Structure 1
């Protein structure tokens, strides 16, 4: 019986009995298959990644250019109410938030000391009046003395004239040899005596006039003293009236700086007792505007602002004035803009910090393109380059079409930092443009498809 041939063990799945040539052929086929798989994998890996970007629809909207600043709220009119005299606070009739009317008594000082000063001033005034009356009487007496002296002088002058005539006649008689020498001598003695009496009377007139002049001077001084003491009475009366403190305007008390029993001294500066705001339904914001922005502001520019107390409320006003005086803090120059604000519900309080946004330019119902689309630049790897500054001029945006991205040259106008006005260019409302992906896709090698941040639809790979 012939012996059966037993198959030899296989090597690598190939029966050894196939021989060396067959084994080599099988190995070559295996290597070729592996090479095909590797080549396919390499082609897949080397294929450029599809570009990723957001698509944004061009639309019409309002674009406003704004500047920002901070400021403080305050009442349009505030009045510091003080005291013009020193004293002790005796009564307070107003407190914080008290509504007051003009002329209403809001505080009172202790009047005792000023009442005593008024009484003393009145006494001095009465004394001065009495002195003035005495001086007036002295003037009348001096005038009478002058009149008496003048009358006496007139008599002495007449007597001297008579004595002179008598002496002259006796001299003629003696010279003619018919008169007595003794009579002449007697008339001469009488003349000398009359002339002496005349001189004495003249001196008395001068003395009386001098006394009258002195009396008049004393009267003038007395009258001046009367006026001075009368003024002192009036001043003391006014000071006494100042112990009663009244509201100078209608308004509300926003500050009270004293308490009952406190002493206030007005010798150097009038102390402030109350601060009264005229009308809190109208307020103003004093906004500090940077010198680089102040040239863009104008009167009646619209302003919006927020306050920390009401973060969800936006308040509006208008610029009433840009003050010329600069403010410098740490070498930073600002100018104060006064913003008028209506406050009908009294939400806004004096002293609140306002975050102000002023509209310096505005365009309504214009085609607008996001600034992100102006910065977008496609790359061969599917990404884009950013950080291109947005300026008013000709720029390129990439319009999304069925054929891919098409560059469109546009000229931009006003920008608010997020959107820019399209002044000219081949873009219409509803056109879609590419922008840098908001989720970080778009860098080289990214595999995310393009998508719209305004629309729910997605674009396919380009």
Structure 2
């Protein structure tokens, strides 16, 4: 009996000891929780050192720097297409053949008209056709002989008249004959030298020029019926099909050298003052995520234009495109690097505050916020350079996670 009593007393002591420990734990926990109620949870950032690049980002459009477009020289049919879109071609390679039957017929007609007009021009310059020239020469010889005979007869009659052997009527008749012979000779001489009037000469010369122009145009039409690559490049557009009938001026094919392209970037007016020729640019395309093309600004804008609701300057950028993946007319994102610093102290941009006293941050020291004046430098979309005021490794408060408790100096905080 005494033994049982001692065991019961021992068990009771253990129970009471456990109860006391549990009570003490509850008290300690309550004290800890009570002490934490005054701390405001905040989002934080760490001051770090890194390379910082400042960029201006905008939209742009790809354009070929060396471009060729072929248009239909006349209404015709596309006889044969030898290439496909995306195909690289050599300089001089045949791209497309148009039906040239009409062009050949026009060239033949124009050539015939040219020869006929040139023959008329030669006839004018030589005094007529060969037959007419020979006839005129023959008549001129006869007229000269008649003039010479009339002159001798007139001289002889005059001598006879001086001796009374010839009557005055005979002298007048001999003089009339000489005058008629001289007049006929003069007509033939004028006919040989100036057979055609100036208006007639001008008309024939105009016909020659028109015929030659028609032949040149026909030859040019025939030449353009065969479309060849003027330089090495990539065929990027063929808007027509083989066998299709096309109208004069209709676009047939587009070719460009895509190894280096031009990107037209639409930069908002306030940002233009930060840009200059030769500043580096990067280009990205949503269709190829992660792919970056590099280049530089080649030309600044000369005027401001309206682009949708924006006032922009159209900045031209020369971009390397060795893989030819950037295609003409696609829309891209352009980033222009306007500043690049190595190994600078940075913080998150949202950690920087500003009031009438200047720029500052909230540094967490011993669990409390301290206002620290800072001097800021360049920035990108997420980070900003701090030139003095904080050191790498320090913890900076970004914002309060308690909507009713804004950040202020001396606030007791807890980093989250």
TM-score (norm 2): 0.75
1:435 aligns with 2:398: yes
Q: Give the structure 2 partner of residue 88 of structure 1.
A: 77
The residue correspondences of 1:341-420 to structure 2 (distance < 5 A) are 341-375=319-353, 388=354, 394-402=358-366, 404-416=368-380, 418-420=382-384
Q: Give the structure 2 partner of residue 202 of structure 1.
A: 182
- Report the CA distance between 1:275 and its aligned residue: 0.9
* 1:103 alignment partner, SS class: coil
Q: Give the structure 2 partner of residue 261 of structure 1.
A: 243
Q: Give the structure 2 partner of residue 236 of structure 1.
A: 218
Deviations 1:232-276 (A, max 9, x none): 44543443333222222222221112223322232xxx2211111
Q: Give the structure 2 partner of residue 25 of structure 1.
A: none
The residue correspondences of 1:126-137 to structure 2 (distance < 5 A) are 127-128=116-117, 132=122, 135-137=129-131
The residue correspondences of 1:58-457 to structure 2 (distance < 5 A) are 58-125=47-114, 127-128=116-117, 132=122, 135-146=129-140, 148-167=142-161, 169-170=162-163, 183=164, 186-215=166-195, 229=211, 232-266=214-248, 270-278=249-257, 280-330=258-308, 332-375=310-353, 388=354, 394-402=358-366, 404-416=368-380, 418-425=382-389, 427-437=390-400, 439-440=401-402, 443=405, 449-451=413-415
Q: In structure 2, what is the Cα distance between the partners aligned to 1:325 and 1:138?
A: 71
Deviations 1:299-325 (A, max 9, x none): 121222322112333433322222325
* 1:259 alignment partner, SS class: coil
Q: In structure 1, what is the Cα distance between the partners aligned to 2:238 and 2:177?
A: 84
Q: For the Cα contact (< 8 Å) 1:90–1:108, is it kept in 2?
A: yes
- Report the CA distance between 1:418 and its aligned residue: 3.6
Q: In structure 2, what is the Cα distance between the partners aligned to 1:306 and 1:92?
A: 33
Q: In structure 1, what is the Cα distance between the partners aligned to 2:361 and 2:107?
A: 88
* Unaligned segments of structure 1, at least 5 residues: 1-43, 171-182, 376-387, 453-462
Q: Which has the larger radius of gyration?
A: 1
* 1:323 alignment partner, SS class: coil
* 2:393 alignment partner, SS class: coil
- Report the CA distance between 1:291 and its aligned residue: 1.6
Q: For the Cα contact (< 8 Å) 1:397–1:433, is it kept in 2?
A: yes
**Cα RMSD for the two superposed structures:** 3.7
- Report the CA distance between 1:50 and its aligned residue: 3.3
Q: In structure 1, what is the Cα distance between the partners aligned to 2:202 and 2:142?
A: 24
- Report the CA distance between 1:335 and its aligned residue: 1.9
- Report the CA distance between 1:227 and its aligned residue: 6.6
- Report the CA distance between 1:187 and its aligned residue: 4.2
Q: In structure 2, what is the Cα distance between the partners aligned to 1:52 and 1:348?
A: 48
Q: In structure 2, what is the Cα distance between the partners aligned to 1:445 and 1:199?
A: 131
* 1:81 alignment partner, SS class: strand
* Unaligned segments of structure 2, at least 5 residues: 1-32
Shift of the 239–415 alpha-carbon distance from structure 1 to 2, 3 Å rule, reads closer
Q: For the Cα contact (< 8 Å) 2:41–2:402, is it kept in 1?
A: no
Shift of the 298–136 alpha-carbon distance from structure 1 to 2, 3 Å rule, reads farther
Shift of the 317–233 alpha-carbon distance from structure 1 to 2, 3 Å rule, reads closer
- Report the CA distance between 1:89 and its aligned residue: 1.8
Q: In structure 2, what is the Cα distance between the partners aligned to 1:82 and 1:74?
A: 19
Deviations 1:380-407 (A, max 9, x none): xxxxxxxx47x9x942333333484443
Shift of the 129–72 alpha-carbon distance from structure 1 to 2, 3 Å rule, reads closer
